[in-house]
Amino acid sequence: MCDTCGCNLTPGNRKFAYRPVEPGATTVSVLQNLLKKNDDQAAHNRAHFDSRGILAINLMSSPGSGKTALLEATIRALKGEFNIAVIEGDLETENDAERIRAQGVPAHQIVTGTACHLDAHLVHEALHHMNLDGIDVLFIENVGNLVCPASFDLGQHVNLTLLSVTEGDDKPAKYPVMFRAADAVVISKTDLLPFLDDFDPARATSHVRDLANVAPVMQLSARKDIGMETWHNWLREQLAAQRSLAAGGSTRRPAIQPDGAALHTA
């Protein structure tokens, strides 16, 4: 552990490590993630999904990158193949849940108020308002924000991060926490690429690789139905992988979850 091996002692903090404990005081070693309560709730949510064989996908992006549009198009194309349900946490457009229900699948709107991210408790609350019987894929549309949603585990199995071509292709370099957490990246609104001279998908991909992230980067336009087959196949693969894991009694978490904690207590 850190305190015994001294691996995280720096000249700045050494004084705290060796500060003598005063009488009547005690120093307790904790070594717990600050978001432990959220993580415990997330594990509980994941158990709900696993017991039903559901694949849960967390969608994250800036506001307006096309999360809801991608869901609408996906449901239209695949609702005969999978049973899909959606938890809407995006507060930018209050009618997102309505847009999803219009496609004929169940959607629950989380009222986030002014919250800038979803957390595992909000998602759990939403789960208890939904009938998940027979659902294959649950999409959780997070609040449009590239900062904090990446820090809160919701119990999802995979993270999908969207980057629309109307944003800069350097977004992954500006928001490394978010793009490092992505199990897959979607470059959205590619129908607009011919009108934009400053978004290079190869450059965006290279910024993702600079984060040591091997995630597939898929380019698509939900509106013009371009590149959707690759995305559908990715979804099919994820669902098959999830099912075989669940059948074997195991589960998975997004590929990159904070692991510094694990390494430090090892």
Partner 1 sequence: MHELSVAQALVEQIENLVLERNADSVTSLRVLIGPLSGVVPDLLAGAFPLAAAGTFAEHATLDLVEAPVRVHCQTCGAETEAAMNRLLCGTCGDWHTQLVSGDELILESVELQLSEMSGELTRPENV
Ligand X SMILES: Nc1nc2c(ncn2[C@@H]2O[C@H](COP(=O)(O)OP(=O)(O)O)[C@@H](O)[C@H]2O)c(=O)[nH]1
Q: Does residue 92 interact with ligand X by CB under 6 A?
A: yes
Specify burial of residue 235 (Cβ count, 10 A radius: 0-12, 13-18, 19+): buried
Residue number with CB closer to Mg ion (96 or 167)? 96
Q: Does residue 79 interact with partner 1 by CB under 8 A?
A: no
Pairing outcome for strands 158-164 and 84-88: unpaired
Q: How far does the chain reach from its first CA to its final CA, in angstroms?
A: 7
Amino acid letter at 156?
Q
Q: Does residue 150 interact with partner 1 by CB under 8 A?
A: yes
Selection from ligand X, Zn ion, Mg ion, none that 155 binds (CB < 5 to 8 A by kind) is none
Backbone torsions φ then ψ of 181, nearest 5 degrees: -80, -10
**Only segment of 18-26, 151-159, 187-195, 208-216 that touches ligand X (CB under 6 A):** 187-195
Amino acid letter at 95?
N
Q: Does residue 173 interact with partner 1 by CB under 8 A?
A: yes
Selection from Zn ion, partner 1, Mg ion, none that 46 binds (CB < 5 to 8 A by kind) is none
**How big is the site for Mg ion, counted in residues (CB under 5 A)?**
4
**Only segment of 65-73, 150-158, 199-207, 249-257 that touches ligand X (CB under 6 A):** 65-73
Q: Does residue 195 interact with partner 1 by CB under 8 A?
A: no
Q: Does residue 171 interact with partner 1 by CB under 8 A?
A: no
Tell me if 140 sits within 8 A of 123, measured CB to CB: yes
Tell me if 215 sits within 8 A of 255, measured CB to CB: yes
Please tell me the distance from the alpha carbon of residue 32 to that of residue 261, in angstroms, as a whole number: 8
Q: Does residue 100 interact with ligand X by CB under 6 A?
A: no
Count the alpha carbons within 13 Å of 193 in the hemisphere toward its beta carbon.
16
Residue 34 CB contacts under 8 Å (≥ 6 apart), including other chains: none
Residue number with CB closer to partner 1 (37 or 129)? 37
Q: Does residue 47 interact with partner 1 by CB under 8 A?
A: no
Residues in the chain: 266
Residue number with CB closer to partner 1 (150 or 184)? 150
Specify burial of residue 135 (Cβ count, 10 A radius: 0-12, 13-18, 19+): buried
Q: Does residue 116 interact with partner 1 by CB under 8 A?
A: yes
Report the interface residues with partner 1, using CB under 8 A.
2-3, 8, 10, 12-13, 16-19, 21, 23-38, 116-117, 119, 145, 147-148, 150-152, 172-174, 176-178, 180, 207, 209-212, 214, 258-261, 263-264
Report the interface residues with Mg ion, using CB under 5 A.
67-68, 90, 96
